Structure 1
Amino acid sequence: MKAMILAAGRGERMRPLTDHTPKPLLPIAGKPLIVWHLERLAQAGFKEVVINHAHLGDMIEAALQDGAQWGLRIQYSPEAVALETAGGIANALDLLGNSPFLVVNGDVFTDISFADLKLSPDNLAHLLLIDNPPQHMQGDFAFADKKIKLEGEPKLTFSGVGVYHPALFAGIKRGEPAKLAPLLKQAITEGKVSAEHFKGIWHDIGTPERLMALNQQLLGHS
């Protein structure tokens, strides 16, 4: 299975840090955030990774190059303008192929075991859900009895980590912006999405304050 890291976001909430550094290259405990993903993907047995980028994308390519230092083969999917999540994935389908693939948000820090993630043959998506963080207490999807639904309780938050079938993005025109949520909601309505509740380490590096807090936490325990 191939993996894709979403790295095209401008990181507006992270400014001024992201004015001159793309968000995925911001350091976490002395290491670029995206490198933590690459190391864990390599440890999980992944060999091929696709990274999309827009804002300061040349810096990402210069820093990561072809991925050989992690035993990976990295291919890049540049976007002239950020295409949002589903648009970015659809734009990279030629690189991802015809089989299910893993997608990881480039702005999260997590110890999710990527090797354990699978997609059932009849489904279009498998999502990892987490307990609602303070900045998103309303949650995204209902999850009970190991079933994901649009309505109900308890509500959990989508972690930004999922496995998708290319068919989920069949209706998106390449090069056009598109959000992921409408596609997931339609697939959930059709009963073609599975999910699991992840209870390990997960941080959304969405603001300078969260970046600083995680750095202090990791460096304080080292």
Structure 2
Amino acid sequence: MKAMLLAAGLGTRLRPLTETLPKPLLPVAGRPILEWNLLLLKRHGITEVIINLHHLGEQIVQALGDGSRLGLRLAYSHEPTLQGTGGGIKQAAPFLKDGPFLVLNGDTLSDCDLTALIGAHRASRALATLAVRDDPDASTWGPVTLDAHGRILQINDNPPLAEPGATLPACMFAGIHVMEQTILDAIPPGPGSIIDVYTSLLSQGQLLHGYRMSGYWSDIGNPERYAQANRDAAEGRLTLRP
């Protein structure tokens, strides 16, 4: 299975740190965030990865090269204009069209069991399986509503539930997902969000599945969370390892 790391964002909430360094290269425990994500993929047997680039993207290429230093094969998708999560995946389609593929946000830290996620996806026969997690602030991140069998009913309260029934408490999307390659055909060309594609598929009755992940997860979205991630690593709460 191949994977894509989304690394093209501007990192505006982490300025001035990101004025001269792309957010995915910010170090945590002595390694760039992006490198920790690559090592997570490698730990689960995924060695072919494409990374999308925009803001200071040449620094990412210089830091990682072809990936051989990490035992990986890396490709890059350059975006002169930001394409968003949906458009970025669409642009990388030629690399991803061999079968199901994994997508991770390149600016989060997690020890998600990717092997279990992929297994859950294959068992579900869904078009996509999203890693979700319980979080008291799920509504802030954007809630994901599942039924008792793990089928996703809503993302960000869309589409409206025609027949509200038994649902589990809302959780949040962790920015880690497995997709069937047929989803690439559902993504319109140009900039856009993959979440909009997902809600459109849900409104058409297509099957999307949620995998409840456990373990560590952190979004490096602002200076406070970046500092907390470094504290977590120093205190052993973050089990990142080469």
TM-score, L = length of structure 2: 0.85
State the number of aligned residues. Answer: 221
Task: State the distance in 2 between where 1:14 and 1:185 align.
Answer: 29
Matches within 5 A, 1:87-166: 87-118=87-118, 119-120=121-122, 122-132=125-135, 134=137, 136-137=139-140, 139-145=142-148, 146-150=150-154, 153-166=168-181
**Structure 1 position 220, deviation (Å):** 2.8
**Structure 1 position 135, deviation (Å):** 7.8
Alignment partner of 2:196 out of 161, 166, 182: 182
CA contact (8 A) 1:126 1:195 kept: yes
Is 1:215–2:215 an aligned residue pair? no
Task: State the distance in 1 between where 2:55 and 2:10 align.
Answer: 6
CA contact (8 A) 1:139 1:155 kept: no
* SS of aligned partner of 2:66: coil
Match of 1:39 in 2: 39
The one-letter amino acid paired with 1:147 is R
Task: State the distance in 2 between where 1:92 and 1:5 align.
Answer: 11
Give unmatched runs, 5+ long, in structure 2.
155-160, 162-166, 238-242
Task: State the distance in 2 between where 1:148 and 1:171 align.
Answer: 18
Question: Residue 133 and residue 213 in structure 1: after superposition, are their counterparts in 2 closer, same or farther (change >3 A)?
Answer: farther
Task: State the distance in 2 between where 1:221 and 1:171 align.
Answer: 42
CA contact (8 A) 1:141 1:158 kept: yes
Task: State the distance in 2 between where 1:134 and 1:209 align.
Answer: 16
Task: State the distance in 1 between where 2:35 and 2:58 align.
Answer: 16
* SS of aligned partner of 1:166: coil
CA contact (8 A) 1:33 1:106 kept: yes
Give unmatched runs, 5+ long, in structure 1.
none
| Identity across matched positions, percent | 37
Match of 1:71 in 2: 71
Task: State the distance in 1 between where 2:177 and 2:7 align.
Answer: 15
CA contact (8 A) 1:52 1:77 kept: yes
- Segment of structure 1 superposing worse, 21-30 or 108-117: 108-117
**Structure 1 position 133, deviation (Å):** 5.7
> Could you report, residue by residue, the CA deviation over 1:131-154 in whole angstroms, capped at 9, with x for unpaired residues?
226485464211231222115551
